Amino acid sequence: MKMTSKLIAAAMLAGTFSVAQAAPMDVFDLKTDSGADVFTDTLGEGSFYDNGASFAKLNDVDGTQDSAGAFLLFEFAGFANINNFGIYNLNDTSETLQVFSGIEGSGGREVAFDLDAGTASTYYGTANIGSTFGFYLQRGDTTFYSDASLNGGVDMTRIFDVTGSQNGSFFGSSLIVAFEDLLDGDFDYNDLIVGISDVQAVPEPGTLALFGLGLLGLGMTRGRKSA
């Protein structure tokens, strides 16, 4: 009974942690600075919520080469011209790869992955990224990451899974990555919005750790009952 109670408490803690980081948000909740909708559900597909993911991984890792498409969709920020977007290595944040610079307008960019070497390349260079990676927004000496723990616990990113959507405004993206660019900002997540194709969302580490703890406890409970 005590172990069961601990498992329930762990599950409640995981839920509380997620809520504390950010309340659920639909991609169609994103607004421009004037209050207009960034995206509209023209096809009646329903909501696409931020699922609490912090990272992305390539869909196809069976071969030696792969690629992901990136689309700079919108920027509604005073710092738009100096906000740079890229991806980073989960285990080494010094390994970053720029995908877009702030002075670029809307458009597409391919990220090529060499799975044997563990590298990724764009127009801007090559870095040791791996097949699972996070996203960053950089402005001068300030960098915000899709992993809230690297921002002092502040969630600066919303990642919306729009896989399979036929909405033309998503440009065939699998994920929509939306950034806030100020720690004391309005958290409307419209400062930089990028679509990423051929990837899938990966939950944040804290949620996975708590889930794993629950599974471990469940196994211990069953073991005790069997004994």
Upper half-sphere CA count for residue 85 (Cβ side, 13 Å): 33
Tokens of 59: 């869909």
14 within some domain: no
Instruction: Tell me the pTM.
Output: 0.78
Tens digit of each residue's pLDDT (9 = 90 or more) over 160-183: 999 999 999 999 999 999 999 889
Q: Give the bridge partners for 160, in sequence order.
A: 50, 176
Domains contained in the chain, number: 1
Quote the domain boundaries for residue 97. 25-203
| CA-atom Rg of the chain in angstroms | 19
Q: What does pLDDT average to over the chain?
A: 79
Considering the domain boundaries, does residue 50 fall inside one?
yes
Provide mean pLDDT across the span 47-68: 84
DSSP states along 209-221: HHHHHHHHHHHHH
User: Is it the case that residue 208 has pLDDT exceeding 60?
Assistant: no
In a domain, 221, yes or no: no
Predicted pLDDT at 118: 92
Residue 122 located in a structural domain: yes
Place of tokens 């406890």: 217
Asked if 84 and 97 count as a contact pair (C-beta separation under 8 A), the reply is no
216 within a domain of the structure (yes/no): no
For 120-156, what is each residue's pLDDT tens digit?
Answer: 999 999 999 999 999 999 988 899 999 999 999 999 9
